A = this chain, B = another copy of it.
Amino acid sequence: MSAIRLLVLGAVRQHGRAHGYQVRNDLEYWGAHEWSNAKPGSIYHALKQMAKQGLLLAHEVAPSTAGGPPRTEYEITDRGAQEFFTLLRASLTSYDQGVDVLSAGIGFIVDLERAEAVSLLRERVAAIEGWRASVTEHYTPADGPESIGHIGEIMNMWVHSADAGAEWTRGLIARIEAGAYTFAGEGEPFVGVLSLGQENPYATGVPDPGDAH
């Protein structure tokens, strides 16, 4: 699963109704073009595809006052909202090595209730620990580590990064349980989208984490 659907659904959902360029701008505001495949082509493709699949409703709209081609506005459907929560829960629990899906999930975590967020993150930690146990048991060669040579370093790296991921997740759980952030049903939600006309402080000059996908 790539992060694009979750990101686009989430962006449309926060606006209620949005056109592609608005979504594209939100994702840029979140820095998503840095850590995920949120490029124009992918965003517009995802919008069209999800409209075709009934997750979004497309409205043709008169050309904007600001010039440019006619826009299409999208509205999330009930099935789209369901899909959003399905993807969100999966992004938080499943142990993808890919950062992009987890990053998107963290970005929308406050759309869940606090208790569920904690429970999903605990599930994540358990998944990582389970994976670690099975992989170290399974890939440890009977005739000593020399028999697989430097290839063992690949597993070593996986395990190292799994441990780091588990540790970070435990920290996040602790912060959430200590009352950090505002979750669904706890009053004024955190506003994660740009208001119209608001400048995007992170639009450019953001450091590039290398070749991140």
- Contact between B149 and A98, CB atoms less than 8 A apart: no
Q: What 0/1 readout, one digit per residue, does chain A (75-102) give for beta carbons within 8 Å of chain B?
A: 0000000000000001000111111111
Number of interface residues of A (CB under 8 A): 57
Candidates B1, B100, B150, B168; contact of A160 at CB < 8 Å: B168
- Contact between B149 and A190, CB atoms less than 8 A apart: yes
Q: How many copies does the complex hold?
A: 2
Chain B residues with Cβ below 8 Å from A98 are 97-98, 211-213
A65 vs B83: C-alpha distance when bound (angstroms)? 50
A212 vs B98: C-alpha distance when bound (angstroms)? 7
Chain B residues with Cβ below 8 Å from A116 are none
Chain B residues with Cβ below 8 Å from A172 are 153, 156-157
Chain B residues with Cβ below 8 Å from A192 are 149, 151
Q: Is the interface of A mostly helix, strand, loop or mixed?
A: helix
Within 8 A of B (CB), among A140-154: 149-151, 153-154
Does A135 count as interface, using CB distance less than 8 angstroms? yes
Chain B residues with Cβ below 8 Å from A127 are 210
